[in-house]
Amino acid sequence: MLQVARLAPNLLLEAGDRVVEFFNDQINGDGGAKDRAGESDLYYTVFCIEGLVAMRAELPVDRFCNYLRTFGDGADLDFIHLCCLARCWASIGGDGFDNHCRANVARRLASFRSQDGGFNPDPDQEGNPEGTVYHSFLALGAYQDLAIEIPHKHRLAESISVLRTTDGAYGNEKSMNIGTTPTTAAAATMLRQLDIPVSEEVGAWLKKQCHGAGGFLAMPIAPMPDLLSTATALHALSGMHVSFEDIKESCLDFVDSLWTGRAFCGTWEDDAQDSEYTYYALLAIGHLSL
């Protein structure tokens, strides 16, 4: 994802300096990146770091490290923020996250393993029976960030396969009977990482979610496209070698319509700009620049 996002400056040109300025402005005094309330949060710090990397900007590594060190080995973090901690350290490198910390994070990740081989953020003493696509996607990425082979990969793949919906997509959990774009994109990307063939129907379903005015819908009944769905769909389609040449211009127009002059919003009805959606814009632009 970062390799593709690093192509975004080729289209942003002089606007790229304003994007870099925006990401730097998101860093609080403690070294963490702002959430939408202005508070430092590991989740947003991931996107701030990766946004700066994508823009080929100089990272204020010391500031980020000071913030990340306050979490130690992540013993007190929930599942999502534990994965974010691993991602942040992997992005900035350095020696702030030693082998002991990596092993402890991996041990905690394993505690979120569900009985079906996936991952669930709410384990109980007897183990949660079912994982979700989203949390399994985060877990697989975290293991890769830790440079540790994820145990029982075949069981992870099996837990994803059963979440296929009747419309040819993927739902986040078994109770969902229609697919969503981010979930389907995540499932397709994971299966490729696990060397499992992805049905052509999945690519066809994803491409059908492209809105007539550009951008991708989160699901067929969504009222408008959004930047998260657009970026993840383009990334998954690219990985499956499904051409989107015919929708490139409309998707570029959609992304451009969310530009505020220094960052990006998530939808036409969202006037808030943050690190997350600005990073997804870079990912989408990167794919659309190829």
Angle between helix 153-161 and 133-145 (nearest 10): 160
Q: What is the mean pLDDT of residues 233-248?
A: 98
Q: Are the C-beta atoms of 75 and 112 separated by less than 8 Å?
A: no
pLDDT at 96: 74
pLDDT at 122: 83
- The CA distance from 206 to 161, in Å, is 17
The yes-or-no verdict on residue 150 having pLDDT over 90 is yes
Q: Is the dihedral of CA 283, 284, 289, 290 positive or negative?
A: positive
Q: What is the mean pLDDT of residues 95-113?
A: 91
Torsion of CA 157, 158, 163, 164, to 10 degrees: 80
- What is the overall mean pLDDT for the chain? 95
Q: What is the pLDDT of residues 180-194, one digit of tens each?
A: 999 999 999 999 999
Stretch among 4-8, 91-95, 96-100, 264-268 having the lowest mean pLDDT: 91-95
- DSSP class of 176: -
Compute the half-sphere exposure of residue 34: CA atoms within 13 Å on the CB side of its CA: 14
Stretch among 20-29, 37-46, 96-105, 217-226 having the lowest mean pLDDT: 96-105
Q: What is the pLDDT of residues 209-224, one digit of tens each?
A: 999 999 999 999 999 9
Report CA-CA distances (Å) from 188 to 108, 162, 170, 204, 279.
26, 13, 9, 12, 21
pTM: 0.96
Return the CA Rg of the chain: 19
Least Cα distance to 175 among 121, 130, 123 occurs for 130
Q: What is the mean pLDDT of residues 116-127?
A: 77
pLDDT at 124: 55
pLDDT at 125: 47
